[in-house]
Amino acid sequence: MRGKEQLVRCDNCGRTVSRSKAVVDERVMRYGTDMNNKDIKFMTRRNVTYCISCAKHKGIFERKKQQAARAASRYDT
């Protein structure tokens, strides 16, 4: 299908955006079954999709920039 882009839904506002315009953020969620037992923890990774305005509002671009800078500095040293 030419000229048709796959649409994804913004997880924050529910707006439908094309996949190329959507911003995907990876969230790591931590769960502890018992507050006193810190050994038992579950970690799940969830991809959250935002439209551009929500990504801007949540500062995801800034965070991604920081992550990129951190990764670059890691390679330098």
Token pair of 27 as six digits:
């969230």
Question: CB under 8 Å to 7, separation ≥6 — which residues?
Answer: 16, 17, 18, 19
Closest to Zn ion by CB, 41 vs 57, is 57
Query: Among 15-23, 27-35, 37-45, 61-69, which window interacts with Zn ion (CB under 5 A)?
Result: 15-23
Closest to Zn ion by CB, 8 vs 51, is 51
The alpha carbon torsion through 67, 9, 5, 47 (nearest 10 deg) reads 30
Q: What are phi and psi of 9, to 5 degrees?
A: -105, 135
Binding residues for Zn ion restricted to 21-60, rule: CB under 5 A:
51, 54
Min separation Cβ 15 and Zn ion, Å: 5
Total residues in contact with Zn ion, by rule CB under 5 A: 6
Residue ranges binding Zn ion (CB under 5 A): 10, 12-13, 15, 51, 54
